[in-house]
Structure 1
Amino acid sequence: MSRIGKQPIAVPSGVTATIEKGIFKVKGPKGELQVPFNPALEVKQEDNNITVARPTDRPEHRSLHGLTRTLIANAVKGVSDGYTINLELKGVGYRARLNGRVLELTIGYSHPVVLDPPAGVSFVVPEPTRIDVTGIDKQLVGQVAANLRKVRKPDAYHGKGVRFVGEKIALKPGKAGATGGKGKK
């Protein structure tokens, strides 16, 4: 049996969950989400726990078992706590600012880059070189953060660009053979 799939999901107080045929709906203080799942799987709610069971040990049921449990657990955590991904800007003159909901980035291009977040995601700029992407849908928050990083990926030689907080960038060495004109006659 799947080690992830057989673990029960604890539903915190203030969160209500309903299970219909093929759709798991969860509502909490941060919002509400729907998670579609394969109707062959059995999703049950007992007391404050949700369990996912598979009908057989066929490979397709085995692969869906842990996935479904993880997607439901992410939805429950999202509506109760939410998700945040932190990004930082490295580079001289690189900065971010909010203009309403819209994020404006000055990151070395000839023009500012303007990004409008999709519904369910918001940007927070606690300082000019830091951006927090927040929301209740883990997949959507991660995708928006990845798209934001893609606007200016960290440079391999200097490390300048948009990166996740704590991300290590392996810097390439510069041209070691340049001697500054010495040795030429």
Structure 2
Amino acid sequence: MSRIGKLPIKVPSSVEVEINQQIIHISGPHGKLFRKISDLMSVEVNDGNIYVKKNKDTRIANQLYGLTRTLINNMVIGVSEKFELTLQLQGVGYRGQVKGKELILNLGYSHQVLILIPVGIDIKVEKNVIIIITGFDKELVGQLAATIRSKRPPEPYKGKGILYKGEIIKRKVGKSGK
């Protein structure tokens, strides 16, 4: 049985929770999110806490138990506090800027890389090389960060590329000349 699934989710006073059949709606000061819950799970709200329970005791229900609780917890945290991810551009001439609803990246290619910013996501660029992504949907923030990083992943020989904040690239030794 999942130890994470058993834990109650504390709901802040600024967050409202509404459950319609198998769809949970969570709204707060930063936005509104909803998610369809599996038929194997049931969700209850009691005295400021959300509880997730299994309807059946099957293998799939056990797998979804902790996942469902974590997804709902991320929704509650997102609408009350927001999520933030920081990326760093490392390399000569690598720069980023935000223009309207687009992120423009110079990554050493012969062209600029344009990335559309989805609704509900805010992007700030500091010092031309630090990209800060904030939003209330953790899944969307993480996916956008992964998409940006995929445009120029870090390489181990020179250490150039787009890195997550605090990420360390293991460097390799290049060819030895004879």
Report the TM range for the smaller structure's normalisation.
over 0.9
- Contact kept in structure 1, 2:40 and 2:56, CA below 8 Å: no
- Flag as ranges the 4+ runs of structure 1 deviating above 2 A: none
Partner of 1:121: 121
> In structure 2, how many angstroms separate the alpha carbons of the residues matched to 1:77 and 1:127?
29
The structural deviation recorded for 1:39 is: 2.7
RMSD: 1.1
Q: Hey, what's the Cα distance between the residues in 2 that align with 1:125 and 1:101? A: 13
Question: How far apart are the structure 2 equivalents of 1:39 and 1:24?
Answer: 13
Partner of 2:133: 133
Q: Tell me how far 1:110 sits from its aligned partner.
A: 1.0
Range 80-89 or range 36-45, more displaced? 36-45
TM superposition shift of 1:79: 0.4
* Count of aligned residue pairs for this structure pair: 178
Measure, in 2, the Cα distance between the counterparts of 1:19 and 1:40.
15
Q: Secondary structure at the match of 2:117?
A: coil
Aligned to 2:88: 88
Secondary structure of 2:158's counterpart equals: coil
- 1:6 aligned partner, one-letter code: K
Distance 2:152 2:60 in 1: 39
Asked if structure 2 preserves the Cα contact closer than 8 Å seen for 1:94 and 1:105, the reply is: yes
Q: Which amino acid counterpart does residue 50 of structure 1 have in structure 2?
A: I
Match in the other structure for 2:107? 107
- Map 1:55-74 onto structure 2 (within 5 A): 55-74=55-74
Equivalents in 2 of 1:127, 1:101: separation in Å?
Answer: 19
TM-score by length of 2: 0.96
* TM-fit CA distance, 1:56: 3.1
Partners of 1:101 and 1:122 within 8 A in 2: no
In 1, Cα distance between equivalents of 2:19 and 2:56: 21
Whether the aligned pair in 2 keeps the contact of 1:96 and 1:131 (CA below 8 Å) is yes
Please list every run of 5 or more consecutive structure 1 residues that lacks an aligned counterpart in the other structure: 180-185
Instruction: State the TM-score, normalized to the length of structure 1.
Output: 0.92
Distance 1:107 1:37 in 2: 41
CA contact (8 A) 1:22 1:36 kept: yes
Question: What does 1:13-92 correspond to in 2, within 5 Å?
Answer: 13-92=13-92
The alpha-carbon deviation at position 57 of structure 1 amounts to 2.4
> What is the match of residue 151 of structure 1?
151
Q: Structure 1 residue 160: deviation in Å?
A: 0.5
Q: Secondary structure at the match of 1:118?
A: coil
Question: Radius of gyration: which is bigger?
Answer: 1
- What are structure 2's unaligned runs of at least 5 residues? none
Q: Is the 8 A contact 2:24 2:35 kept in 1?
A: yes
Q: For 1:110 and 1:58, how far apart are their aligned partners in 2? A: 54
**In structure 2, C-alpha distance between the alignment counterparts of 1:37 and 1:56, rounded to whole Å:** 14
- What's the % identity of the aligned pairs? 44
Instruction: Name 1:182's counterpart in structure 2.
Output: none
Residue aligned with 1:63, SS? helix
Give distance in 1, aligned partners of 2:4 and 2:135.
Answer: 24
